[in-house]
Amino acid sequence: MKDRDTRDIIDIAIIGGGAAGLMCGCIAGRKGGGALNIVIFERNAKTGKKLLATGNGRCNLSNAAVSESSYFADKPASLKENNFHVLDYEAIKSLFKELGLMLKTDSCGRAYPQSGSASSVLDVLRDNLLRFGVTERTEEYIRSIKKEDGRFSVKSDSGEYAARRVILACGSCASPVFGSDGSGFALARSLGHSITPLFPSLAPIFVRENLRSVKGVRCDCRITLKSKSSGDIIAEEAGELQINEDNISGICVFNLSGYVNRAFALKQSPPQISLDLLPEISGRELSSFILKRVFSSPDTPLELLLTGVMNKKLGAFITKSVLNVSPSLSCGNMSKQELLKLSSAIKAFTLTPEKISDFKKAQVTAGGISCDEIDFGSMESKIVEGLYLVGEAVDVSAACGGFNLHWAWSSAVYAAENAASRCYDVKN
């Protein structure tokens, strides 16, 4: 179908050509049967730029275990109070199949395109946009949105457009290399919406300790966040830890980073990090192993004491950090108390968060447009009729595993179906 002339009144203006925006276009176009004038405005030269990089190019786009409990907000109670809900995995799987994309899941429930390539997802979405006559206008940076006399005025550097309905799908601040600069929050504020505190999530955690000597080491661990004041456990995760020069990363770290970054963003005391570097071995078993090894081989240098149970560089780093002696010293020179102290440290090695993560390295932004100002049944604004708010721009986030992209699809479906129905009713 030939592109429409966007000088005409646009039925639905979609601001942002990322995952949520593209899905909005597909759903609204299908709902309207190709009869609606729908335009996607994207600041980049191409739509879907960030989508192509998702899941290391494989696009982890959903999760079989997804449910309402998978998601967080600045005020968790507001989700329930505003009837927050998401489509289940089978619904999203069926939707993509209708659009022309088959999905598959791995042993952890993470869903990927059957092709194993993120480009398949983008190709299918864009094919459906073309099929239903949805126009993509790229290199269009939206400067302002106003509502006057029942219609929206959408202004970019290249012109001004009139629209009956607007869907704000601008993303957030995370991964600015893909065009996410937080400008959508300014647009939402200008329309009367409030924004909860913004901070990076699914990101590395920067720590005070110098980790240069163990940079590049990976190991399985259990990571626990504890309150500095009470010692209470805030949250914990297990998985592969990746150690960098001044930070730690890995999925288990990413899933906890929001707690740390939120504390920094709100100028609160950040939680303490405790690492169990040998989660599959009990403290008693480890202590026994170390004591017996020292007894049987007292001339073994300390730097080699732990090579039988953990990475050599990591073992030497922990030993030096805890005992504060030369790694070349024979382990037989250590007292039983010192050796037990070493064992305890391996099961609960402490790191101190140093600063908030960088949005450049974050996968998503926590915080956003307040949930109290959105009707989650339709994703329509409670403040401005005809305005819809979807995806990462909303104060809804989740752990790694495809949950955040699932929210993008789900919120897009609710918004686009409602917006298209309302436009279609007006036209008929």
* Residue closest to 207 by CA, chosen among 278, 264, 273, 276: 273
The values of phi and psi at residue 423, to 5°, are -65, -40
DSSP-assigned letters across all residues of 360-374: GG-SEEE--B-GGGE
Integer angstrom CA distances of residue 409 from 93, 183, 239, 404: 11, 21, 27, 9
DSSP conformation letters of 121-146: HHHHHHHHHHHTT-EEE-S--EEEEE
* Per-residue pLDDT tens digits for 176-230: 777 778 889 999 999 999 999 999 999 999 999 999 999 999 999 999 999 988 9
Residue 220 token pair: 């399985």
Question: Is a pLDDT exceeding 60 seen at residue 428?
Answer: no
pLDDT value of position 74: 86
Query: Helix 312-323 crosses helix 336-347 at what angle (to 10 degrees)?
Result: 120
Domain with CATH 3.50.50.60 in the chain: 10-199+365-427
Q: How many CB atoms lie within 10 A of CB 151?
A: 16
Whether 425 shows a pLDDT value over 90: the answer reads no
**pLDDT tens digits for 57-83?**
899 999 999 999 999 998 888 888 888
Average pLDDT over residues 42-56: 88
Query: CB count, 10 Å around CB of 107?
Result: 5
Q: Say how many CA atoms lie within 13 Å of 343 toward its Cβ.
A: 21
10-199+365-427 belongs to CATH 3.50.50.60: yes
What is the reported pTM?
A: 0.92
* Residue 244 phi, psi dihedral angles, 5° rounding: -115, 180
Hey, what are 28's tokens? 């609204």
302 touches 323 (CB < 8 A): yes
